[in-house]
Structure 1
């Protein structure tokens, strides 16, 4: 019966295995040997199994015992993690950190910041989602995410607190087989209007605002990678984050085009960390914000140096 088991009994079994004998386990746990032997015998009797073969000088695990000891280690590790999470919560640490990320956000600063967070709070549960355009802000507003990392267009809303992180350069690109790739001059508004523009749209609000539209012929995508597939296949042109298309530009799959009187911001789209103004950040959120800003600044310095 599982209800008759205690963590202490499981700890005794594991200690016997780790120490090599009942007497050594007793010394390690500060108990008498008879108590250790009785604890093991009780588990075996209740569960109807033999964990240790006692026919030799030292007890050895049976086949069943090997399996059960592995399970006991998992249970003890889970119990220890339970205690650490509960202790953290009692000290004000978030029970869970829920994040939502725009796919336009470069991964490297985010990954480094999350590694720093995991090093500091290894047991903190983190939930993570990636959504385009209005998705992250929507998740922050409805409370399903505590922190969003995203673009905020056309303006920063009044109900959120923002922390400037970095900028993402959006490059106008086409497949090398696309007619725009063979222009020997900057593309005019008329040139762009003659071809399909591949546009990212908010799947929950497809009729919402779109920015940078230059063609009446629009194919809409909710998924950035799907749009990249269609772009590389030559179905149209669009602006893509530089960090995503860099490898495609390097191997010639994609070609960057020049745009006459380009109105896109030369400094790139701003990326923010954001949460509701009314939301009080816990220590894990504050640490993540700090590390995001640090690694984003390091990325900017590195890019400028190169």
Structure 2
């Protein structure tokens, strides 16, 4: 009979890329890892991994088996969560990290219902930029994040599509490049200050988007400061449209036509780590976020 532990070993070898890496991840000896995989292959009479190269690779049959194995592992995780939560007490704290481009209101509505159901749990809510959310998640600081999939190791993270945010390059109508509607080239824009929001990660997961090459640049801590600078006619930059609806309607900010910087859609996901235990409150938040998506 195939065991769950055997599937975990196979998953570790595939995701780590080596038997040694799998052994270190699972805190087992390399020989034990090799033995468990060989036993699994003998049981099902299928060679799952080719050992011909330095790094083991899935055979064609192994790829089919592995796809199904990952589904079984996910189902087992969900079953364990159900079993754990049936007798679980609520955890003392849950941490959510939300990208700065997404409005807080939909999340706060969920937090409000959670507060009423689980009053003993302290909910921490953090606004993060660029690589900040994924850094917090992978370092086990955050239980759930809402962010883009940029730089996310998909084998370590469970992700569900959550929302789309529209990012528009804008400036004050009296800002020089905004006075005409023709497309400005990159070289034309290099003499005008681009205002960008700083990455809140510490560096390992740093990201950068929509940066004008070779241009003047100011870096600020958040979008509120960025909007103030743009309204003061001191620069230009991309801002989520939900943050500037009034300014766009009143003409206080206008869209810019810049080469390579058209209005774009940012696809956001709700994410949590696959190998982290999920408490009853975090699971409830996850399910309610899924319904909001």
Do both share a fold (TM > 0.5)?
A: yes
Matched, 1:193 2:195: no
Residue by residue over 1:8-66, the C-alpha shift from the partner in whole angstroms, topping out at 9 and shown as x without a partner, is xxxxxxxxxxxxxxxxxxxxxxxxxxxxxxxxxxxxxxxxxxxxxxxxxxxxxxxxxxx
Distance 1:293 1:242 in 2: 23
Distance 1:206 1:121 in 2: 35
Matched, 1:222 2:209: no
Higher gyration radius (CA): 1
Is residue 181–residue 257 contact of structure 1 (8 Å, CA) maintained in 2? yes
Is residue 112–residue 295 contact of structure 1 (8 Å, CA) maintained in 2? no
Q: How does 1:231-270 map to 2 (within 5 A)?
A: 231-260=230-259, 262=261, 265=264, 268-270=265-267
Aligned-partner SS, 2:244: helix
> Compared with structure 1, are the counterparts of its residues 154 and 191 closer, same or farther at alpha carbon in structure 2 (3 Å cutoff)?
farther
> Compared with structure 1, are the counterparts of its residues 261 and 140 closer, same or farther at alpha carbon in structure 2 (3 Å cutoff)?
closer
Aligned-partner SS, 2:161: strand
Aligned-partner SS, 1:173: strand
Aligned-partner SS, 1:109: helix
Q: What is the Cα-based RMSD across aligned positions, in Å?
A: 2.6
> Compared with structure 1, are the counterparts of its residues 121 and 211 closer, same or farther at alpha carbon in structure 2 (3 Å cutoff)?
same
Distance 2:141 2:261 in 1: 38
Q: Structure 1 residue runs of 4+, over 6 Å off?
A: none
Q: How many residues align?
A: 207
Of 274, 287, 290, the residue aligned with 1:290 is 287
Aligned-partner SS, 2:164: strand
Tell me which residue corresponds to 2:57.
Answer: none
Matched, 1:279 2:268: no
Matched, 1:164 2:161: yes
Tell me which residue corresponds to 1:125.
Answer: 122
Tell me which residue corresponds to 1:212.
Answer: 210
Q: How does 1:55-74 map to 2 (within 5 A)?
A: none
Aligned-partner SS, 2:268: strand
Aligned-partner SS, 2:141: coil
Residue by residue over 1:205-263, the C-alpha shift from the partner in whole angstroms, topping out at 9 and shown as x without a partner, is 39944211224222222322222221221221111011111122122221112334546
Distance 2:253 2:263 in 1: 19
Unaligned runs of 5+ in 2: 1-84
Q: How does 1:73-222 map to 2 (within 5 A)?
A: 91-154=88-151, 157-203=154-200, 204-205=202-203, 208-216=206-214, 217-222=216-221
1:178 Cα deviation after fit: 0.5
Residue by residue over 1:58-92, the C-alpha shift from the partner in whole angstroms, topping out at 9 and shown as x without a partner, is xxxxxxxxxxxxxxxxxxxxxxxxxxxxxx99624
Relative to the length of structure 1, the TM-score reads: 0.60
Is residue 175–residue 254 contact of structure 1 (8 Å, CA) maintained in 2? yes
Distance 1:154 1:186 in 2: 31
1:189 Cα deviation after fit: 2.7
Unaligned runs of 5+ in 1: 1-87, 297-306
Relative to the length of structure 2, the TM-score reads: 0.63
Distance 1:291 1:226 in 2: 31
Residue by residue over 1:264-290, the C-alpha shift from the partner in whole angstroms, topping out at 9 and shown as x without a partner, is 64xx11112212221132222222122
Distance 1:263 1:184 in 2: 13
1:198 Cα deviation after fit: 1.1
Aligned-partner SS, 1:158: coil
